[in-house]
């Protein structure tokens, strides 16, 4: 990257430092406001209070975080496998797509909060029920993006493959799947965040206690006991996990596309 782009369009450092500085300022203002107006901790705790709680309760919260993350990542994995498989089916036949796409959309637009209670009744195992809820919200962006990607393969390249006598399998593996990769990865980044939301929402609805409960239950529990700083601490962990998932998936996307796709190339202008 050239010096001009460092200064003019914001270099790598500015990209990290600017939002970080903004965050520190906001947290400082929050802390000062809480102290200045004497807001009690059970209404709104200050960041220092929350950090202290996070440090003290970190162990028990981290265990719950692991439970939630396990559900999230497993649901994302299942969403990727089932989503890509469904997209290949969709793009292979107009009839299959016409028949099933409306139901995939229906599943997507129905709020997961409203179906979660049913799923929890129907599915015996709570963990499995949570997994189903998280999967429902995570799989649609993958299906819709990957289907668009598979269908927008360069026509001339498809003609070339036909001319070269490529089999359907060869065309899929060597041409259509790689062409769909940028679309799939964009969907994956959205789905990563949605899987976490789905898992949290389902945990709220299930409201299961005990050793194997996730972060959402910790929030409910802290709320009942008016341990507001602990609620915020759990909330902070959820946000940070969401950010971490997004960054990790962005990194995967960058590594896979950096040599060839427009979206991953440095802006040389």
Binding site for other proteins (CB under 8 A): 154, 156-157, 159-166, 170, 174-175, 178-179, 181, 259-262, 265
Nearer to other proteins, 36 or 155 (CB): 155
Q: How far is the CB of 193 from other proteins (least distance, A)?
A: 26
- CB nearer to other proteins: give 9 or 162: 162
Query: Nearer Cβ to other proteins, position 37 or 169?
Result: 169
Q: Please give the Cα distance from 228 to 216 (Å, whole number).
A: 14
Between 51 and 179, CB nearer to other proteins: 179
CB of 167 to other proteins, least distance (A): 8
**Minimal distance, residue 174 CB to other proteins, in Å:** 7
Provide, rounded to whole angstroms, the least separation between the CB of residue 124 and other proteins.
45
Those residues whose C-beta lies under 8 Å from the C-beta of residue 129, and which sit 6 or more positions away, are 116, 119, 120, 122, 123, 202, 206
Per-position DSSP letters for 160-229, written without gaps between them: HHHHTT--HHHIIIIIIHHHHHHHHHHHHHHHHHHHHHHHHHHHHHH---STT--HHHHHHHHHHTT-HH
Q: For other proteins, which is the closer residue by CB, 114 or 156?
A: 156
State in angstroms the smallest separation of the CB of 57 from other proteins: 47
Tell which residue, 97, 98, 77, has the closest CA to residue 89.
97
Give the tokens for residue 223. Answer: 């709320």
CA 52/CA 66 separation, integer angstroms: 21
Q: How far apart are CA 72 and CA 216, in angstroms?
A: 13
Least CB distance to other proteins at residue 169 (A): 11
188 vs 196 by CB, closer to other proteins = 188
What lies within 8 Å, CB to CB, of 94 at 6+ separation is none
Dihedral sign, Cα of residue 65, residue 66, residue 69, residue 70: negative
């Amino acid at each position: 990257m050239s010096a001009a782009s460092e200064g003019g369009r914001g270099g790598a450092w500015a990209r990290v430092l600017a939002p970080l500085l903004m965050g520190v300022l906001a947290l400082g203002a929050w802390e000062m406001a809480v102290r200045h107006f004497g807001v009690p901790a059970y209404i709104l705790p200050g960041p220092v209070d929350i950090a202290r709680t996070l440090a003290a309760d970190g162990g028990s919260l981290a265990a719950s975080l692991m439970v939630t993350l396990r559900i999230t990542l497993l649901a994302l994995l299942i969403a990727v496998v089932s989503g890509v498989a469904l997209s290949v089916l969709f793009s292979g036949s107009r009839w299959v797509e016409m028949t099933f796409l409306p139901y995939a959309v229906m599943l997507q637009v129905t709020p997961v909060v409203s179906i979660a209670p049913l799923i929890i009744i129907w599915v015996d195992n709570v963990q499995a029920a949570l997994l189903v809820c998280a999967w429902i919200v995570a799989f649609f962006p993958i299906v819709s993006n990957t289907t668009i990607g598979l269908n927008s393969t360069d026509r001339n390249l498809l003609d070339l493959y036909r001319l070269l006598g490529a089999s359907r399998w060869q065309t899929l593996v060597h041409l259509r799947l790689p062409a769909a990769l940028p679309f799939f990865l964009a969907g994956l980044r959205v789905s990563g965040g949605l899987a976490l939301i789905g898992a949290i929402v389902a945990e709220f609805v299930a409201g299961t206690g005990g050793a194997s409960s996730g972060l959402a239950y910790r929030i409910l529990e802290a709320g009942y006991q008016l341990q507001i700083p602990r609620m915020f601490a759990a909330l902070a962990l959820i946000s940070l996990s969401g950010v971490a998932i997004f960054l990790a998936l962005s990194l995967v996307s960058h590594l896979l596309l950096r040599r060839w796709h427009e979206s991953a190339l440095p802006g040389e202008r």
